[in-house]
Amino acid sequence: MSLKTAIVTGASSGIGKEICKRLLEINYKVIGISRSITKEDFNNTLFSALQANLADEKSTLKACESLRDEDINILINCAGFGRFEPHEELSPKTITDMTFLNLTAPMLLTNALLRSLKKNNGYLININSIEAIKTSKFAGVYSASKAGLKAFSDSLFEETRKSGLSVTNINPDMTQTAFYDELRFDTSDNEDERLLASDIADAITHILSMRKGAVVSDYTIRSLKFGISKKR
């Protein structure tokens, strides 16, 4: 029996890397996508790397074309970034890059791979954000891109219900990753006031272990308590 194949974006760090490690542990072949990823990033013969800048249209379309003929069982759109400033202080490039990476790239990859996912009764999993279902100041573009991704997931769930495809939208709260490296704030140092990347990987394991006739279409994960750390 041939192994099933998963594609994971944002695979070189944070949640994406943790998801890749988990899928490899349960014997999936994994194609990891990021700007600088190499096969050597994962010491596993089941892993292959595809370098692409998913904030760039030409690079994303090239990646889509190279993947179009792959026999895929799982697509996990995980790549993304956020900037949280007054809207007038965001640069036009930050706005366009954030919108493209968080929303347009997942839609393009899904477009390229949807026939294969449907044929294989597969899984489309979009790693979203708690900001998709709530509003915060200084998060207009980020929240809009994530709310758009949720709307895309929800619509696609309805569109593909006659197929065997499972579509899930995962909304994590603040998760300890490099996402915050260039921001003015970070996750809390307290264990019960933050999520770990492994918590999101646990959700992936749960989704894949469920009876195929049942779908968690919206999966929100929050820390037990709220906490935030402001940088000096």
Cβ burial of 20 (10 Å; 0-12, 13-18, 19+) is buried
Band the pLDDT of 148: cuts 50, 70, 90.
very high
pLDDT given for residue 231 in this prediction: 86
Asked whether 83 and 136 are in contact (CB, 8 A), the reply is no
Q: What is the pLDDT of residues 34-66, one digit of tens each?
A: 999 999 999 999 999 999 999 999 999 999 999
- Where would I find the beta strands (DSSP E) of the chain? 5-9, 29-34, 47-51, 74-77, 123-127, 166-172, 175-176, 185-187, 195-196, 218-221, 228-230
If DSSP codes are grouped into helix, strand and coil, which group holds residue 136? coil
pLDDT given for residue 165 in this prediction: 98
Domain 5-230 sits in CATH at 3.40.50.720
> How would you classify the pairing of strands 185-187 and 175-176?
unpaired
Neighbours of 81 (CB within 10 A): 17
- Cα 144 to the center of its chain, rounded Å: 16
> How would you classify the pairing of strands 185-187 and 29-34?
unpaired
CA R_g for the chain = 17
Q: What is the pLDDT of residues 175-191, one digit of tens each?
A: 999 899 988 899 999 99
DSSP 71-84: --SEEEE-------
Band the pLDDT of 135: cuts 50, 70, 90.
confident
